[in-house]
Structure 1
Amino acid sequence: MEYTLGIDIGTSKAASVIIDESGSVVAHDSRPHDARLHAPKGHAEYDALQLIQAALESATSLPEAYKSQVTAIGVTGQMHGIILLDDTLKPVTPLINWQDQRCSPQFLDELKAQTGENLKTGYGGATLAWLMKHQRLPHTVASSGTIHDMLVAVLVGAKDIVMDPTDAASWGFFDLASKRWNLHAIEDLDIQPHILPKVVESGSVVGSLTKVAAAQLGMQAGIPVYAAIGDNQASLMATLSIPETQIALTLGTGGQISVVLPAGSNPADYVGGNTCEIRPYPGGRYAVVAAPLCGGSAWAWLADVADSWLRELGLTPPDRTTLYKRLNELGSEATESELIIAPSFLGERDDPSRRGAIWGINLSNLTLGNTARALSLGIMENFRSMMPEGVLKERRSVVCSGNALRKNPLLVSAAEKIFGLPLNPVEGFEEAATGAALLARETAKFRGAPLKHRRLRRTLCS
């Protein structure tokens, strides 16, 4: 039996899985990395070495019986973020991730006027331009990449960073048609092109696992390691069985809604303004993706408010599990009301200045149940409204994942109401790590053939 390892470096945790030849998960691990650094307001920075270490520790913890038979390694991680490295691939900045808000709307407008690129705050290209303009670019910088690109380089002992199109497009300054950096835009900003990583096709082998990395992980040296893929596309690989007829909805701390376009589609036909984007997808396809800045954290906001108000009244609030359970019960019992909640509490990528709002309040309808119901519907309506008109047609189901959906039935019923489709929960976990493993396995086994989609199946060892 041959096995494949998948590793994911997420926003709050590192995770790893091992899958067998059928794509079933046989072992898994996840652990919080606690790598976020204290930074100025609006800045989101993470200790890169701590992130790498957490990922390695997660993979190392997997059972020896499976690790000894691993024949391929796939890697994924949080998209959009950027880390700058010196000529030895040591970090000279923290990871500045997708949550970063240092790029003001005015700065982004200036970028668009200068380059024609419609970038958003938190995107690697915008962050790089900001560092350049404010003279914060370290003089020792020689290259750049995502945190998962850096992990791949560590595993294979690479001298250079490479990046696949799924991550390159998430930075901006990337042409979808040619799958190359937009060098004219980059040079207009006086950014040296050599700083940007070389772009390789999804599923490319970057190198082989070094003896040092193999000894740490408890695996054999020489195992092929594949180019890292963005976590959005990795999750889709793991969760969609018939992508042409399904909507993928993920709701955890953040959230995303994704639709894989039919093969041969012209991505220009699906552009719907600034609320969504077209992303490369393995197999030469594309996906339409929208990602509210305040996904599952919008639902957590209500629990935070209820907890805070009880404490201010001198009362002892229930534990979080009990509190969420009660919010789900009250929201499910609530009837139709005029209450409407727009949950853009952190702004949105197309409008960072936007804020949440509540409408339709009268003297009797601002109950906790009505508020929970209105918030759940508002979260789902925010997802739906971000997608271009027509892109959701001909879809037959919503495949849902993420802890916020798994643990809150009120959010599930709200999604069914807003989309008018049945929700099919993913029967698994660590979808991004599993998708990275599937891509590595499928590429190794079916190189040159169309990539397969496989519903994540949970088969755990005891």
Structure 2
Amino acid sequence: MALAAGEAAGRPVPACVLGIDLGTTSVKAALLIGAEQEQVVAESCSRETQAYTSSLEAGPQGMEQDVWRIIRALNECLAALPQQQLQRVSHIGITGQMHGIVFWKRDKGCKWTESGPGPTFEPEEVSHLVTWQDTRCSPTFLSSLPLPQSHISLATGFGCATVFWYLKKSPGFLKSYDAAGTIHDYVVAMLCDLRKPLMSVQNAASWGYFNSRNKSWNTDILKESGFPIHLLPEVRDPGSIAGRTVSAWHGIPKGAKVGIALGDFQCSVYSCLTEKTDAVLNISTSAQLSISMPPGFQPPDMPDPSSAVTYFPYFNGDYLAVAASLNGGNVLATFVDMVAQWTEELGLRVQESDIYTKIIKAALAQTKSKLSIHPTIFGERHVPEQLASCLMQTGVRRILGSGSALARNEVLRQEVERVFPFPVVYGKDVDAAMGAAMVMFHRK
């Protein structure tokens, strides 16, 4: 490798930055090597988590994941990366699926063990992760909660909404824990042995009951409703350092700087957005179309529940205008799973990969059809009852495509190119793990 050649020639070898994305269905890690402003992706690794599990409290409306399985996938990812490069990691950027919440005991959140090339940690007294896909908070339940002082509407799957649900439906559950955060906040807290969890403005806004303008929780509103505010993490700006690793980790030296956990959506955009006139379209498990707002832009004081556009905190005080959909690659996966079940009931067993192949071939061969499909089977946050059923003026000149569903599906790419009246460019190394690494690289 070029790194080894540089070392052999006696030139100083630049440090590495590790980016980690704890996604909805998989974990990805990427190593970024750079000197000054040059950066090269050294290695990357991805592992499926297979973490979905049943919810005892919420039943079929619950969407939970086993944190132990997520951390196992993370450990497998890091174990697959080159030890020589991991030993040079000086900074770690971590991101993951937003909105969700996991609870833990501060003194017993994990245990460190010797394993393979170096120490690793495993979850100990940790709850399941209640994900952003969770639907236990019905519209009726959400309407019974106090109105947030925030520009973002409260929705099911948001961390604070989930805490309210436990408070009213299963209060004994909350008494077992004294800390909470997103899944990536949890990993940062374990790596740095934080006594009080830290959370970036990006993740705090995704939980609800957070005022992005003054960067504070709606503590007065929450206190009046009996909300356990001791569970709320301390909030800091995205890009800041949360702490240092308290132990060597998979060969990464003790004392490596760990950035505060970031939103996966913001990191995905950061990995590819270079021009103000670009719009980023990401289609993975869900889908988002975003543009960067002008410097100094501030979101409205109150949300518009009927609007499909939300303003997400980005970096350096900027915002992204985001049209976010709950429906993306998950719709294709659900459709394929349904077809597989039908064929099995008819006495046939067909691999899902074969179904994907035939669907794509059929779609590519189709030229015109009067069939109208509204594939919003997961609803939308601004219209949750809509089940299965804006760019010229902002100066957008190009669409940057990203996301696993878009990368793997030619039909989706053709539809994107048909719908948008702009050139469409598909990025390389465009993902949240890469974005998290780039954030730390640019802030070294």
Q: TM-score range by the shorter chain?
A: 0.7 to 0.9
- Residue 152 (1) aligns with residue 188 (2): yes
Match 1:280 to one of 276, 289, 313 = 313
Match 1:99 to one of 107, 118, 133 = 133
Q: By how many angstroms is 1:223 displaced? A: 1.1
Tell me which residue corresponds to 2:73: 54
- Residue 249 (1) aligns with residue 281 (2): yes
- Partners of 1:83 and 1:271 lie apart in 2 by 26
Q: Measured at CA, do residues 274 and 185 of structure 1 come closer, stay the same or move farther in structure 2, by a change above 3 Å?
A: farther
Identity of aligned residues (%): 33
Which residues of 2 match residues 370-409 of structure 1 at below 5 A? 389=390, 393-409=394-410
- Partners of 1:355 and 1:71 lie apart in 2 by 47
Q: Measured at CA, do residues 416 and 85 of structure 1 come closer, stay the same or move farther in structure 2, by a change above 3 Å?
A: same
Q: Is the 8 A contact 1:253 1:295 kept in 2?
A: yes
Q: Secondary structure at 2:325's aligned position in 1?
A: coil
Q: Is the 8 A contact 1:8 1:55 kept in 2?
A: no
Tell me which residue corresponds to 1:350: 382
Q: Measured at CA, do residues 398 and 271 of structure 1 come closer, stay the same or move farther in structure 2, by a change above 3 Å?
A: farther
- Residue 126 (1) aligns with residue 126 (2): no
Match 2:328 to one of 295, 316, 328 = 295
Name the aligned partner's letter for residue 401 of structure 1. Answer: S
**Structure 2 gap segments, 5+ residues each:** 1-13, 110-124
Tell me which residue corresponds to 1:18: 31
- Partners of 2:392 and 2:166 lie apart in 1 by 36
Match 1:31 to one of 47, 60, 69 = 47
Q: By how many angstroms is 1:331 displaced? A: 2.1
Q: Secondary structure at 1:220's aligned position in 2?
A: coil
Which residues of 2 match residues 113-262 of structure 1 at below 5 A? 118-136=153-171, 137-211=173-247, 214=248, 216-242=249-275, 244-262=276-294
Tell me which residue corresponds to 1:360: none
- Partners of 1:186 and 1:232 lie apart in 2 by 27
**Structure 1 gap segments, 5+ residues each:** 358-388, 445-462
Q: By how many angstroms is 1:422 displaced? A: 2.1
Deviation per CA, 1:162-199, whole angstroms, max 9, x where unpaired? 00001000001010111111112211321132220000
Q: Is the 8 A contact 2:148 2:210 kept in 1?
A: no
Q: By how many angstroms is 1:343 displaced? A: 0.9
Q: By how many angstroms is 1:312 displaced? A: 5.0
Q: Which has the higher helix share?
A: 1
Tell me which residue corresponds to 2:105: 86
Which residues of 2 match residues 306-455 of structure 1 at below 5 A? 306-312=339-345, 317=350, 319-357=351-389, 389=390, 393-428=394-429, 431-444=431-444
Deviation per CA, 1:197-220, whole angstroms, max 9, x where unpaired? 000111111111122xx1x31021
- Partners of 2:354 and 2:365 lie apart in 1 by 17
Q: Is the 8 A contact 1:92 1:138 kept in 2?
A: no
Name the aligned partner's letter for residue 329 of structure 1. Answer: K
Tell me which residue corresponds to 1:2: 15
Q: Which has the higher strand share?
A: 2
Q: Measured at CA, do residues 38 and 262 of structure 1 come closer, stay the same or move farther in structure 2, by a change above 3 Å?
A: same
Aligned pair count reads 407
Q: Measured at CA, do residues 325 and 80 of structure 1 come closer, stay the same or move farther in structure 2, by a change above 3 Å?
A: same
- Partners of 2:229 and 2:349 lie apart in 1 by 57
Tell me which residue corresponds to 1:361: none
TM-score normalised according to structure 2 size: 0.85
Name the aligned partner's letter for residue 49 of structure 2. Answer: H
Q: Measured at CA, do residues 87 and 303 of structure 1 come closer, stay the same or move farther in structure 2, by a change above 3 Å?
A: closer
Q: Measured at CA, do residues 68 and 315 of structure 1 come closer, stay the same or move farther in structure 2, by a change above 3 Å?
A: closer
- Partners of 1:270 and 1:390 lie apart in 2 by 23
Q: By how many angstroms is 1:239 displaced? A: 1.9
Q: Is the 8 A contact 1:81 1:146 kept in 2?
A: yes
Deviation per CA, 1:226-247, whole angstroms, max 9, x where unpaired? 10101001111112222x2122
Q: By how many angstroms is 1:314 displaced? A: 5.0
TM-score normalised according to structure 1 size: 0.82
